[in-house]
Structure formats: structure tokens, C-alpha cells
Amino acid sequence: MSGLTPAGDADRADVQAFLARAARVDDSGVLRLRRRDDGRVGLWVRTGFDVLATRTVFGDLDPADAIADLAAMQASAAAGDPVIGFGFAMQVAWQGALPGLSGFSHLDDVPAREVIALARRGTRVAREESGALGPAASLLDQTVLEVTGEDDAAGTAAISMRSVFALTAMGFVRDEQGREITEDSPLDAIGGREPIRIRVSPSWIRIDARFGSVYQRSAALGVSVL
């Protein structure tokens, strides 16, 4: 039977959490799933910030690369189906290739507390300046963090507010107790050494948190990896 088969209860819970957050950030209702060689399955969503978000779980996927209907997957998971069904989603519903699993160079790590602080400042500005169509593109496209490698060859990644918002909206940063960060969560509830890892490839900036990653296209958002 076609669908996603989580390896255990924890993986099923992770799938359901990802689906719930994906429904909040993407109104297209479409997911991409891809089987990996390490026994994991990658779940992908296009966030409303023009940034891809992904999380992996242990399990099996049939077929190995699938386009799924988000609402159908949520209903199947909530019903406790052993194999979480994809529903009906046409292949053309997802345009473009996914980032590769290799070819990324590690630039540096940024404290998670710093990223959450940036997100909160951006949220305040968005509330003050947003119009009927939501946050201004100038705010979302703004470079809010530049990360440089140890040598010139490693390059520099310019992180946009879009990526920061996507990372926090997907709940990929948690406090030391594993709880989701809210607007009221104290910054010191996040581990002082909790890292956000920045990696780059010629086409993508990859931002890894403990519970998931977001991918920002370097060219599409007017930024560069030097």
C-alpha cells in the first residue's frame, strides 16, 4: 500500500507535529516526501516565506519519492492508520527539485537564542508595518544575519528574515525541556550552547536546528554565497 510507514510511535508523533505546522505555514496543502538511504524519510513543505522546510523520521516510504495531500495525510495519521496515506496530489502540484543531501560546506554555528531574538524583533516590526497583504517583502527579504566561514574559500551566507521566520514557525527550535518556543518563552529557557548550524552549497543556504532544517535559495532571494 502506498504511503508513509513510521518506524515507531515517536516517529509517528514527529510526523503529526510536522504536518500540523506545515498546515500553518503553507496554504497550498501539498507535501513532498523522499526516501533516504539511511533508513529515514524526508518530509518537505514550501513555507509561506518562499523557503523550504524539512524534517526526517525513521520509516519506510512507497513510492520512494511522492507528492502528498497535506489534509489527507493529517486525517490518515489522526485515524491511526499503520500506513499514512498520501491522498490525491498531482505531480505537477510540486514544481522544482529538492536540494541534494550532499555538497554542503559547514560555515559556522549561531546560538539558537540569537536566532529567536531576531525572530521576535522581526515579528514586532511586521506587526507595526504590515498591510492588508501581510509583512512587506522588504522586511522578509532583509538580510538579518551574515555567517562567514573560517577562511575566504568557505564563503559567506546572508540569511534573510524569511528563513528566520520559517525556522521558528515550524517549531524547529525548542527549549531545554523540548518544549516549543512561544512569544512568552524566556530566551534563557533555550540552552546557551544550543546551536543553529549554517551550511552552504552553490545553490542553497541550509539552516539546521535540532528538530528540522530550512533551505533558502541563494539566488532567488537576492543573496549570495561568496
User: Higher model confidence: residue 152 or residue 215?
Assistant: 215
User: Higher model confidence: residue 108 or residue 28?
Assistant: 108
φ, ψ of residue 9 in degrees (nearest 5): -65, -40
pLDDT at 33 over 80: yes
pLDDT tens across 57-90, in order? 999 999 999 999 999 999 999 999 999 999 987 7
Predicted TM-score (pTM) of this structure: 0.88
Position 226 scores a pLDDT of 30
Q: How many CB atoms lie within 10 A of CB 16?
A: 16
Evaluate the omega torsion of the peptide bond into residue 63 and state whether it is cis, within 30 degrees of 0.
Answer: yes
Give the C-alpha separation, 178 to 41, whole Å: 22
Give the angle subtended at the CA of 9 by the CAs of 42 and 191, to the nearest 5°: 70
Half-sphere exposure of 180 (CA within 13 A, CB side): 13
Q: What interhelical angle do 9-25 and 161-169 show, nearest 10?
A: 130
What is the average per-residue pLDDT within 31-44? Answer: 96
DSSP state of 103: -
Q: Where in the chain is the domain with CATH 3.10.150.10?
A: 3-93
Give the C-alpha separation, 212 to 170, whole Å: 8
Position 219 scores a pLDDT of 56
CATH number for region 3-93: 3.10.150.10
Q: Contact at 8 Å (CB) between 67 and 88?
A: no
Residues 6+ apart with CB under 8 A from 100: 201
